[in-house]
Every structure is written in C-alpha cells, then in structure tokens.
C-alpha cells in the first residue's frame, strides 16, 4: 500500500483487531486507525476489537467504544489487523477476520509471513504505529490521532532507546508532538508509572533473579501462587523484563511467569548480540531481534533449560 485510502475504497463496514494481551503499540495502532476512519470516512461503520486493554491507555480518545467480545454474526467488507504477527495471535475477532470479504495486515514483525489478502509489513520499522503513520495523510493526523500513534511508538521503542529507533522515527515523533499533546505525561503514565503492588512484584522478581552463562543471561520468574498472593495477572508485569535487561554485563534477559500449572509466558529482551526473535519463533512465538516472546509448557526448570539452550547456541555461533 501507498496509503490507507487504497483499501478503504468502496468499504461500508470495517473491523479492526489487535493481538492477544495488547501492548501499547497494538492499542495505539488499532485506535489510531479507528479514529482516522471515524474522522475522515464517516460513511464507514467501523468497529475495533481488543482484548481488554489496560486502564493506562485511558488517555486515548474513544477507548470506551472498543469491543471486547464478539457481537453476533457479522461479515465485514474489510477487516484490518494491526501489530498482529500471525493469524493465531489475533485476539477475540478471529471469526470476523475469517469471514470478511477482504482482509489486510499492517505490521512490523519480521516473523510475519503475511496471512491476510493485503499485507503491509515493514520489519525494519520501529512499531506498527510508525508503519501506520506512513499510510496516513500527515496533514490529517490531528491531536486525537497523534496521541495513540505516539503512545505506540514510545512503547515499542522503549522510549526511543531500541535499535529500531531511526532518524525517521524521531522525525515522526516530532511531527506528532506539534499537534499539542502532553508527551511527557503519556510517557510517565503509560510506560513508567507503576502501582505500589506492581513495584512490590518487580522488586521480588529482581531480588530472586539468577545469572547464567557467565553473567551474560539473567532470568526472573514468577509462579502462579505468587501472582495470586499479590493479586496480580499478566497485565501487571510490564517493565520487569526490561529492567532485568538493564543489569550490568547482561546480554539477554528472560522473564517467565506461570499462567496455568506448568504453562508459562516467556518474555525475552536482548542488548543486541542475540536475536531473541529466532528463539521465540523456534518455540512457536514471535517478535523482534531485541524483544520477543513465546509460550512454553513444563516445569519452570524445563522452560529455563530449553530457552537457555537456544541462547547458548547463538553465543557459540558468535565464537566460531
């Protein structure tokens, strides 16, 4: 696609969907597209489906219009996924994607092989929000649309720290800031701010973390019973793996938490020498070179051993 207008021509009904456990880039890109269509294509009846977004994204307009459950049998003229790397990662609205007359995928995951009829995937770009901005008419990106785009870019670049941050990323961020929103408040409240309990949980994971592979790999973990003790779930654990990554001498950080008995969610971060997307894809997940994730079964020790084996292989390849 050159611009979003190409897939909107003749469309009367449209669905928009994101991935399971939506992060800032997923929420931001889905809502930016929804608000753009709502503002400039009022003739299109658009619905956005997301898997119970976190309250921290409440600064984005029209969050109360998100659908978190299927709404009967529907056949959309067009269904667009944003920040979804594979069909089985699409949350909630999968049946609507399957029955839509036309489908499109807007994404930036290098692991995305293209599962829609129209695929606009740019693996070299920082975020799905940055990809989406490139499809919009920049003159039409007003404050309400700029806010979710900026939010997504902040989240997927680690506040413009990750290697995917390019001069173009910073240029776009600057253009968005010109629309007049409080960018520092968005960064603090949607990225850094934690509740007291979230800080307690992070402190516990950091205190009980372990170093492996001569200090080049750090692992933090949280069992289901511990999550129940603190009264938290997966949505409360953002930022832990990124904090682990900042440990001096560490090249790879792994954070594991138990979602069900012997079923774990694995988040991986790299400082650049290890491509964690390859490791995640090996185990059926996906992501980027420096940030990826997957789901694994077994004991916590099985998970640690299996993932660290793949990390070791990459270190050994570098030594050859």
| Rounded distance between C-alpha atoms, residue 278 and residue 281, angstroms | 5
pLDDT value of residue 320 = 62
Q: What are phi and psi of 139, to 5 degrees?
A: -70, -20
For residues 106-112, average pLDDT: 90
Residue 45 and residue 180 share a domain: yes
Residue 127 and residue 21 share a domain: yes
Radius of gyration of the chain (CA): 20
For residues 268-294, average pLDDT: 90
| Rounded distance between C-alpha atoms, residue 290 and residue 270, angstroms | 5
pLDDT value of residue 6 = 95
Strands 78-82 and 13-17: parallel
Report which listed range, 105-119, 171-185, 226-240, 261-275, is most confident: 171-185
Q: Is it the case that residue 266 has pLDDT exceeding 80?
A: yes
pLDDT value of residue 110 = 81
Nearest to 23 by CA among 75, 82, 76: 82
Task: Calculate the alpha carbon distances from 165 to 126, 161, 170, 289 in Å.
Answer: 6, 7, 7, 13
pLDDT value of residue 131 = 98
Among candidate residues 159, 192, 225, the one where a domain is terminated: 192
Q: Which domain CATH number covers 243?
A: 3.10.310.30
Identify whether the C-beta of residue 17 lies closer than 8 Å to the C-beta of residue 48.
yes
Note down the domain range covering 16: 5-192
Question: How many independent structural domains does the chain possess?
Answer: 2
Among candidate residues 162, 192, 222, the one where a domain is terminated: 192
Strands 210-212 and 45-49: unpaired
CB-based burial of residue 304 (10 Å sphere; 0-12 exposed, 13-18 middle, 19+ buried)? buried
pLDDT value of residue 32 = 98
Q: Is 268 strand, coil or helix?
A: strand
Residue 215 and residue 125 share a domain: no
Mean pLDDT of the chain: 94
pLDDT value of residue 45 = 98
| Rounded distance between C-alpha atoms, residue 69 and residue 38, angstroms | 20
Residue 87 and residue 15 share a domain: yes
Identify whether the C-beta of residue 63 lies closer than 8 Å to the C-beta of residue 57.
yes
Nearest to 30 by CA among 105, 108, 83: 83
**pLDDT tens figures, 236-258:** 998 899 999 999 999 999 999 99
Q: Is 136 strand, coil or helix?
A: coil
The kind and range of the H/E element at 106 are strand 103-107
Q: Band the pLDDT of 29: cuts 50, 70, 90.
A: very high
């Amino acid at each position: 696609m050159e611009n979003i207008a190409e897939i909107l021509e003749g469309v009367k009904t449209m669905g928009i969907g994101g991935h399971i456990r939506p992060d800032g880039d997923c929420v931001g890109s889905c809502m930016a597209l929804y608000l753009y269509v709502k503002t400039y294509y009022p003739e299109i009846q658009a619905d956005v489906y997301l898997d119970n977004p976190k309250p921290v994204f409440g600064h984005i307009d029209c969050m109360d219009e998100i659908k978190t459950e299927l709404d009967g049998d529907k056949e959309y003229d067009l269904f667009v996924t944003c920040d979804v790397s594979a069909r089985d990662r699409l949350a909630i609205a999968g049946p609507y994607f399957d029955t839509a007359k036309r489908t499109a995928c807007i994404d930036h995951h290098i692991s995305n092989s293209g599962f829609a009829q129209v695929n606009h995937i740019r693996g070299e770009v920082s975020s799905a929000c940055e990809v989406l901005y490139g499809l919009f008419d920049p003159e039409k990106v007003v404050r309400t649309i700029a806010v979710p785009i900026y939010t997504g870019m902040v989240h997927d670049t680690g506040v413009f720290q990750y290697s995917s941050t390019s001069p173009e990323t910073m240029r776009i961020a600057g253009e968005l800031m010109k629309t007049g929103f409080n960018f520092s408040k968005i960064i603090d409240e949607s990225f850094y701010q934690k509740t007291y309990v979230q800080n307690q949980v992070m402190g516990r994971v950091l205190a009980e973390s372990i170093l492996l592979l001569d200090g080049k790999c750090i692992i933090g973990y949280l069992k289901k019973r511990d999550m129940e003790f603190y009264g938290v779930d997966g949505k409360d654990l953002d930022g832990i793996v990124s904090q682990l990554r900042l440990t001096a001498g560490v090249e790879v950080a792994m954070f594991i938490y138990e979602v069900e008995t012997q079923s774990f969610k694995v988040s991986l971060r790299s400082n650049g020498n290890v491509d964690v997307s390859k490791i995640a894809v090996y185990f059926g997940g996906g992501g980027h070179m420096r940030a990826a994730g997957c789901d694994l079964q077994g004991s916590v020790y099985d998970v640690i051993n299996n993932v660290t084996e793949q990390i070791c292989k990459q270190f050994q390849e570098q030594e050859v």
